[in-house]
């Protein structure tokens, strides 16, 4: 399905393994309706063994500086990547967050929760409209019931968020019958040594 071996050694274009990782995250991005370029960038950084500088993202992926800049900014804002400072190199290096738990957790907090909270406010608005308007006669009760159902589910979702957060850090094959136990795949306090001058051979 994909062509033979022979990986271009570096510098321009991706080797076949990188290309597959990138394809994976492009598909992921598509599923989440994010731009392709975001998937490409994350995929490239995810499979890299060292932090990579801006210009390498641009040249290896063959995308424009503009796209790279915007995509990196977005990924930073999501907490999906972070910058790495490399002494004696003016460029900023980027590395992917590879702890999926963190990614997921953060998405829950930064994307899902705000949406649910906004929903809550919209539901309040609905209820106010039901109060304010007459000539619904028999419908008024029905409207109230529907609004209440919406509110119930929204609240439920909000309450489930922290539980979900706990759930994903439980080692799966043993189903979680006690929740607040330790996290198996926990943090390692590695002091984040910058790599020994990577990139630009």
Partner DNA sequence: TCCAGAGTTCAATATATTTTGAACCAAATA
Partner DNA sequence: TATTTGGTTCAAAATATATTGAACTCTGGA
CB of 99 to a second copy, least distance (A): 9
Indicate whether 53 belongs to the interface with DNA (CB under 7 A).
Answer: yes
Smaller CB separation from a second copy, 26 or 86: 26
What is the number of alpha carbons within 13 Å of residue 108 lying toward its C-beta? 18
Indicate whether 7 belongs to the interface with a second copy (CB under 8 A).
Answer: yes
Q: CA 158, CA 105: separation in Å to the nearest integer?
A: 14
Indicate whether 184 belongs to the interface with a second copy (CB under 8 A).
Answer: no
Q: CA 80, CA 87: separation in Å to the nearest integer?
A: 23
Sheet of 52-53: strand order equals 52-53, 93-96, 81-84
Indicate whether 165 belongs to the interface with a second copy (CB under 8 A).
Answer: no
**Of 65, 91, 115, 200, which one interacts with a second copy (CB under 8 A)?**
115
Smaller CB separation from a second copy, 76 or 139: 139
Q: Compose the 124-163 pattern: x for residues touching DNA by CB under 7 A, - for all others.
A: ----------------------------------------
- Cα 55 off chain centre by: 23
Indicate whether 13 belongs to the interface with DNA (CB under 7 A).
Answer: no
Indicate whether 36 belongs to the interface with DNA (CB under 7 A).
Answer: yes
Burial per residue of 84-122, b for 16 or more beta-carbon CB atoms within 10 angstroms, e otherwise: bebeeeeeebbbbbeeeeebebeeeeeeeeeebeebbee
Binding partner selected for residue 71 from DNA, a second copy, none, CB under the kind-specific 5 to 8 Å limit: DNA
**Of 35, 70, 143, 199, which one interacts with a second copy (CB under 8 A)?**
143
CB of 47 to DNA, least distance (A): 19
Inter-CA distances, 125 with 118, 147, 152, 177, Å: 11, 10, 15, 40
Indicate whether 102 belongs to the interface with DNA (CB under 7 A).
Answer: no
Q: If you write DSSP's letter for every residue of 146-179 in order, what string do you get?
A: HHHHHHHHHHHHHHHHHHHHHHTTS-TTS--SSS
**Of 14, 22, 34, 96, which one interacts with DNA (CB under 7 A)?**
34
Which residues make beta-bridge pairs with 165?
A: none
- Candidate ranges 55-63, 146-154, 160-168, 180-188; the one touching DNA (CB under 7 A): 55-63
What are the residues binding DNA (CB under 7 A)? 33-38, 53-55, 62-73, 90-92
């Amino acid at each position: 399905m994909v062509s033979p071996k022979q990986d271009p050694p570096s510098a321009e274009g991706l080797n076949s393994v990188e290309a597959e990782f990138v394809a994976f995250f492009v598909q992921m991005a598509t599923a989440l309706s994010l731009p392709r370029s975001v998937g490409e960038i994350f995929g490239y950084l995810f499979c890299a063994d060292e932090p990579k500088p801006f210009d390498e993202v641009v040249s290896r992926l063959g995308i424009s500086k503009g796209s790279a800049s915007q995509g990196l900014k977005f990924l930073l804002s999501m907490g999906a990547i972070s910058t790495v400072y490399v002494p004696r190199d003016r460029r900023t290096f980027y590395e992917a967050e590879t702890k999926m738990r963190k990614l997921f957790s953060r998405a829950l907090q930064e994307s899902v929760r705000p949406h649910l909270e906004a929903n809550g406010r919209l539901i309040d608005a609905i209820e106010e409209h039901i109060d304010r308007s007459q000539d619904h006669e028999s419908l008024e009760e029905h409207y109230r019931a529907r609004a209440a159902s919406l509110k119930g589910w929204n609240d439920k979702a909000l309450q489930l968020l922290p539980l979900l957060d706990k759930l994903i850090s439980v080692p799966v094959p043993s189903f979680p019958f006690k929740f607040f136990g330790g996290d198996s795949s926990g943090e390692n306090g590695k002091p984040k040594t910058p790599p020994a001058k990577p990139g630009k051979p």
